[in-house]
Amino acid sequence: MIDISMEMEQQDCPFIDTTADYDVSFSSFQWNFDGGDRELETRMVVEGQSREALDNALQALQDHRNMYSCTLRKRMGNTAHIRTTIDETDAMETIREYDGYVTGPFHIEGGSETWHVGFDSTHSADNTLSDLDRNNEFTIISRRQTALAEMQELIEKRDAAIELLRGSQSLTATERKTIATAFESGYFQSPRETTLSDLAEEFDISKPGVSKNLRRGQRKITQSVAGALEHLDDPE
């Protein structure tokens, strides 16, 4: 199996267009492709930087030329759960043409989409990337060949991986950005290379505010790690 992760900038994707215009992100947790109608049905979590950003993004999705349906399932503040049906994009068609398949969730933010796709042969993967280059902008994040033994190990540890993924997806956009900035700035180093005051200045909020965002994010990540360790320790 050839496993490829890429940052994709499709020209005909409603979600990418929406994140290019509004401060929102989309994370998929379920998708189903209808080969007959050539439509993709998804269930996604939408996170906005504000309630207004979320309102505008949901309206933009409804109005997009490639959006067949967009149903709001649940909403809490600036986060929403939606069910959508979109037309097959050029990139989807290309990947399917060479028998490619999705191996992980989609994440869309800032006008680009993270894809995880797999192929059964190097030939199929190379042909797909060649054709994708004609009508799409993309950057390969990683490409690796997974051996059968490694695939079996991944399958056996899928529950632990899912637990970690859920923990990461449970982070709000603010929590993700705060933790990432703190890590890159050396806040978690010993001794620390930055302080709460520095982070507060970076985000233009109070020290208690940035501390609260860090604590909430760390608690979610720690809970997911603890859950993953339980799965790894379980002999079943």
pTM above 0.75, yes or no: no
In the predicted model, what is the mean pLDDT of residues 23-42?
79
Give me 41's structure tokens.
Answer: 């049905």
- A 10 A CB-CB count for 36 gives 5
At residue 201, the pLDDT reads 92
Q: Which CATH number fits domain 157-233: 1.25.40, 1.10.101, 1.20.1740, 1.10.10?
A: 1.10.10
Each residue's pLDDT tens digit, 175-188: 888 999 999 999 99
135: left (phi over 0), alpha (psi -120 to 50) or beta: alpha
In the predicted model, what is the mean pLDDT of residues 135-142?
88
Query: Where do the H-state alpha helices sit in 4-50?
Result: 14-21
Domain boundaries, the chain: 2-146, 157-233
User: pLDDT class for 148, splitting at 50, 70, 90?
Assistant: low
More confident residue, 79 or 38: 79
Q: What percent of the chain has pLDDT over 90?
A: 38
